[in-house]
Structures are given as C-alpha cells and as structure tokens.
Chain A
Amino acid sequence: MRRHVIEMVHAAGSGHPGGSLSSADIVTALFFEVMEHSPELESSQDRDHFILSKGHAAPVYYAALAESGYFPVEELITLRQLHSRLQGHPSRVKTPGVEMSTGSLGQGLSVANGLALALRSQGLGRTVYCLCGDGEMAEGQVWEAAMFASHYHLDNVIAIVDRNGLQIDGRTEDVMALEPLGDKWRAFGWNVLFMDGNDMWQVLETLEEARRHKGSPTVIIARTVKGKGVSFMENNVGFHGKAPNDKEYEQAMRELGGSA
C-alpha cells in the first residue's frame, strides 16, 4: 500500500504522501479485514461503508480500492492526470468504489451520519467508517456532526482521527491546539478509544472493539506518524503535500522494501 502511494504521487509529480502514509495501516485494516465490501456489492447498501473525510489522502484510498478490485492496479499511476478517473481528491462520480466526493475538510462526518441514518432506517446493521485528519478537527462542522451523532445514538458510525500531530502550517498544537482531544469527544457523548494507528494488531483489535460498542457513536483517536515508513517523510511537515523527486523516490521505494 505504501509503495503504491509513493509510486502514484511520484508519477503525478504532486499530491499528498504524508497523510496517506500515516493512515495506510488503518485503511489497510478496514479494506482487507474489517469491512465487508466488494465491487459486486457496490450498488447495494447492505455492506460496510467508508468515507475519507480527509480527502487529500486519496492516494492510499485509491490503492485500497484498486487492490480490492474496483479498478485495475495499473490505473493507479494515472493519478491527477487529465482524463484520469483518479482525481486529486476523491470523486464519487468518477472513481469506482468511492463512496463520497471529499476534499473540503470537515464535511465527511456529517455525510457519514446521514448514511448511517439511512442504513438504520432500512434495518441494515452496517457500519460507516469515517477517516478524519487531526488538523481537520478545527472545522466547526466536525463538532456539529459530533453533536448530531450522539443525539441520534448513531452507534453504527465509527470515526477515526488520524492523530499524526501535523497539518500544513506546522504542529496541530502550535497552529490550533486540540488537546485534550479525547475529553472533547467524550463531552460530546462519544465512546472514545485510543490506539497506535501504525500497529496493525492494535488497529484490528480497536476497530473490533468499536464495532461491538452499542448505544453511542465511537471515535478512535489513532496516534500515527505522518509520512510513516519513509524516513525522510516521517514527521516532516514538508511532505504533507509534496511529491518526492526522482532520488527521493528511489530511496523511499528501497526503504519500503520495493524497487523503483
């Protein structure tokens, strides 16, 4: 998955590696273990759903969709090219498997709530997973949605916050402090779980615990490393939205155990 991300962003010459790499383990766990979904089920509501609220992490989302069979893996390197189905930010109308068009931060959780309500009213015991950024938590709409979900007891919504500690202008705690983040969600009536979002076993266990929880929505605050897996991208705000050059690309691929 991480190699796909690096390859796509390098081929495009632009895009967002940092937040794709930090959430790669979470997205992998969801698409290949936790969620029941498949290209054949796409037109049915009777499956689990995923909304990428932090839409700039599109590369890792596309990697998961391609490896799940929604479109050919070879198509991944067309990211951001003219006429490609793989837009810089997810597009529901262009890309097979993409549940919702996103890119404007702060809007995904509201959509997840609406979708969860629709599923509940159709008697479908399905879960909606919504992946958010930590910088994204500054958007007021996130907290409007947080209030809504607990008011309507949407225990079929699981929000995951990619707590990599960085946004574009620097550390989240310097730009707009979030802590104590767990207390905030708790005060809004959510079941709050924590995990190391780059530890696959913890990710799987915590997602399972979240799914079992009933009566209120669950948020998982996932401690992660932005740029995880590529030494010079790790915790480096400069690689939020910048592609690696040819030399960096080769090094990144080597570090990820592949060849350039």
Chain B
Amino acid sequence: MESQRKNYGKALVELGRTRKDVVVLDADLSGSTRTAEFGKTFPDRFFNCGIAEQNMMGTAAGLAVGGMTVFASTFAVFATGRAYDQVRQSIAYPDLDVKIVASHAGITVGGDGASHQTMEDIALMNAIPNMTVIVPADGPETYRAVLAVAEARGPAYIRMGRSDVPIITSKDDVFSIGKASTLREGNDVALVGVGQMVAPCLLAAEGLKAKGINARVINLSTIKPLDVETLEKAARDCGCVVTAEEHNIVSGVGTMVAAALAERYPTPMERVAMQDVFGQSGESDELMREYGLSEKEVIAAAIKVTERRK
C-alpha cells in the first residue's frame, strides 16, 4: 500500500533534475500534495500561491506562455471547482503546457466531509476541449503518468486520492496516454475500473471466478482521450460491461464508456458509481462501502449484467 501523492512528489523531483523548464505551483497544501519536496530541492522553481487557487491557475498559464512546463497542485475539489473558469479560459483554450495534478479527490478524502470530496472533477475536466484526463490506479502508475504528461504537449489533469492504495501495476509497465491496460484476461464480463476502483475490480474478478464467471479487468487510466478500441474489443469479446469509478454516476466515466459503446457496439452495461449524492465524513473504506463502491457491488453488478449478456 502506498499513496499516489507520494509518487507524484518523487516524480516531480526527478523531473526537476532532468528538465530545467519544469516549475511547480501550490496553494498552501504542499505537504499534502507532496510538492514540498520539489520546493525544497528547487526553491527557485517553486512558488506557493497561498490559498488562492484561481490566481494559481492564471499564474500557471502565464508561466507556460513564458515557455515553462508548469505543474499546479492543490486538492482536486479546488483545482477543478474553484478554479474551473481559469482552467478553461486561461489554460485549456490557449492550449498551454499546464499539468494540473490534484490530490484528495473522491469520497476517500474521508473525515473532511462532502465539502472536500469532489465527485464531479472528472466530468468537469473531461468536458473541456484540449484537456487530457488521467486517473492512475496506484502509486507507481501515478509516477509514470506524471512523467508522461511532462513529455506530452498541452494541458492535462491527473487525479489522485488521499489514502494509501494497493500496488497493482508494476514499475516496468509503460504508461502511454490514451491506452487502457488489461490486467486480467476473461471473456464472460469486462470490468472496467478507474483509479481506486481498479483494485476492487481485481478482487471482484477473483470472487466471480468462484461463481464460474471469468472476468476481464481493464484499468482505464486515461479518461480522455478514451481508448475506444480496447473498450469495443472488450465488449465484443465479453458481451457485457461493468464500469466502476469513485465519481458521480452523472457524467462519470461509465457515461462516457456507455456513449462510446452505444455508437460502436451497443452492449449491456452496469455502472458502479456514486449515486448522485453528496458524501459525508467517515473513514475512507467505510465510505466506500456506505456508498456502494466496493468489490461487493462490482460482483453484484457483474452477475446482474451477465444475465443480459449478448
């Protein structure tokens, strides 16, 4: 188990060494987002903006206009919500090299409660043209995704959680933006997991095996651009699909997968997601169970959807 943000911190320091054009901004949360390590190592290329997320995004845009590659970090709810218009107008529209890497996304924020638990950040970022949207499944994948967006041109959003998550990808995997990875083969149902829901999908696949259902597990770590080829192939091979995400069901990843499949290969689907309600305070795992975001619901959805299988 390890946190995604710890890996973000490591990747930033590595980038700082190899790339003189990389600068990092934060908004009074550098300990939490783990940009602090970069700040200590490269104080000349780190700027704390204070509790002023909108100004941070605008400043990031200016730095990018000036030729820098910018990483801007805060909690996901503020990066995508508070500063939405600055991200849209000053970063995405002018197509600038700003990478928004936000932590504490989703219900797993825990005790802070609904004000801090964004369940709509993927929808918001996804709806903006030019924006690449990435939700890594674990720490090592976060590390690789950060390096990958640094290499790619243009704006990107990387979503990270607060809590420690199991390591399910390997250091030797290659991260290519826009490419989903298949973690487990199977032809009875495709479980498409996003971020912290990929690990429960793997557990669910084990549970389903005992019931004679052979599940394919896909780690959909890039939401945009969506890997429609991998999704269509999974739909054709398996005949039914379950999506699982720590995000609102409205305009969530399940919606996007359903839309893509509807056009290419209409397939029975179930979506495991937050049911359009605000969260509350509690422990991360408690909340995941409370809002139906665990392996149990993935299994139930898989059984239900296989009954409608093509």
Contacts and interface: CB of A to CB of B under 8 A. Distances in A.
B281 A106 contact: no
A18 interface: no
Nearest to B112: A88
Given A82-B283, A103-B116, A88 B111 contact: yes
A175 B50 contact: yes
Interface of B: 26, 28-32, 36, 48-52, 54-55, 77-78, 81-82, 110-116, 280-283, 286-287, 290
B52 A88 contact: no
Nearest to B27: A138
Given A80-B282, A104-B77, A168-B28, A176 B49 contact: yes
Interface in A118-176: 135-136, 138-140, 167-169, 175-176
A106 B54 CA distance: 12
Interface class of chain A by DSSP: loop
A68 to B, nearest CB: 22
Given A87-B113, A140-B55, 4 more contacts: A81-B281, A167-B28, A168-B28, A169-B26
B82 A104 contact: yes
A89 B52 contact: no
A238 to B, nearest CB: 10
Max chain B C-beta neighbours (<10 A), residue from A87, A94, A103: A87
B282 A176 contact: no
Contacts of B81: 104
A229 interface: no
B280 A82 contact: yes
Interface in A95-132: 101-106
A236 interface: no
A160 to B, nearest CB: 17
Contacts of A12: 111
B115 A169 contact: no
A139 B52 contact: yes
A148 to B, nearest CB: 17
B287 A91 contact: no
A169 B31 contact: yes
28 contacts: A80-B111, A81-B281, A82-B286, A87-B114, A87-B115, A88-B112, A89-B112, A101-B115, A103-B115, A103-B116, A104-B82, A104-B115, A105-B51, A106-B51, A135-B28, A138-B28, A138-B49, A138-B50, A168-B31, A169-B26, A169-B29, A169-B30, A169-B48, A175-B28, A175-B50, A176-B28, A176-B50, A176-B52
Contacts of B280: 82-83, 87, 94
B28 A169 contact: yes
A87 B281 contact: yes
B257 to A, nearest CB: 30
Nearest to B51: A138
A101 to B, nearest CB: 7
A257 to B, nearest CB: 28
Contacts of A15: 111
Q: Which 9 A-B pairs have the closest CB atoms?
A: A176-B50, A103-B115, A82-B282, A138-B50, A88-B113, A87-B113, A80-B111, A88-B112, A80-B281
